[in-house]
Amino acid sequence: MAAKLFGLGACLTTVGLLVFRMSRPKQDPVPGSIPSDSRQQVVAFVTELQDRICHTLEDMDGGAKFHEDIWEKTPKGTGGGRTRVIRNGNIFEQGGVNYSQVTSSQLPPTILVKHPHLKGQPFFATGISIVLHPKNPHVPTVHMNYRYFEA
């Protein structure tokens, strides 16, 4: 049991290090500027991060593999994602590592409450959500998110 606890701790530490290392810019950005290809860069970063986290968790579990569902938000073209679920592994009872992105011609009303000057502005959002339920009842569930929002 101690080996499995250590393995899970090492796995989560590895996930944290992956997020930290991959989120560091390759070059110093110009203050106050957003690169013209920022959306493509973030999507590439988040999808690669999802791939690396899933591979790391599969390697650590040593048994179960993730099953992927690619989906698209309707109306067509306003978003989509990749849902990945792992079940009945050596360490994980169940878990998900999910990527999604969404675009819209208007910001949600909840944002406009604090920022009414942004009414009518389009937005883009993407991110990754991770939820892991270990088999061991003495090991806590993990839930974390990494988000990018551009308006």
Residue 23: the pLDDT is: 57
- b/e sequence 4-39, b meaning 16+ C-beta within 10 Å: beebbeebbebbeeebeeeeeeeeeeeeeeeeeeeb
- Residues composing the chain: 151
Which residues are annotated as catalytic? 143
Residue 150: the pLDDT is: 86
What are the mean pLDDT values of the chain's consecutive 10-residue runs (151 residues total)?
53 59 57 73 92 94 96 82 97 97 89 90 93 94 92 81
Q: State the Cα–Cα distance between residues 83 and 102, nearest whole angstrom.
A: 14
- Sequence ranges of the domains in the chain: 2-26+36-150
Residue 151: the pLDDT is: 81
**Superfamily name with CATH number, domain 2-26+36-150:** Coproporphyrinogen III oxidase, aerobic (3.40.1500.10)
Residue 34: the pLDDT is: 64
134: β partners: 92
